[in-house]
Amino acid sequence: MHELMVVLSDAGGGEGELSWQERSLCAQTDPEAFFPEKGGSTREAKKVCVGCEVRAECLEYALANDERFGIWGGLSERERRKLKKRAV
């Protein structure tokens, strides 16, 4: 099971308010696009992320939890690693 699916299945929304994971566009999309094979295209996943209302929360989660695989907040693992290096 992909990490994103695990996160989404563990997501507990507050009373009457959906968690950011439940509001994410990727939750309504094929998860395979967000975990491409090595060297595979990230284009489709990133297109979904551009229009997502919780993109910032997703990226924040990935950075805080050192997610090493998949597209999170519209960035690949390599892009997130570069972002973290610049922040240090």
60 is in an annotated binding site: no
Q: Is 10 marked as a binding-site residue?
A: no
Q: Is 49 a known ligand-binding residue?
A: yes
Residue 45 annotated as lining a ligand binding site: no
- HSE-up (13 A, CA, CB side) for residue 52: 27
Q: Indicate the annotated binding residues for [4Fe-4S] cluster.
A: 26, 49, 52, 58
Q: Indicate the annotated binding residues.
A: 26, 49, 52, 58
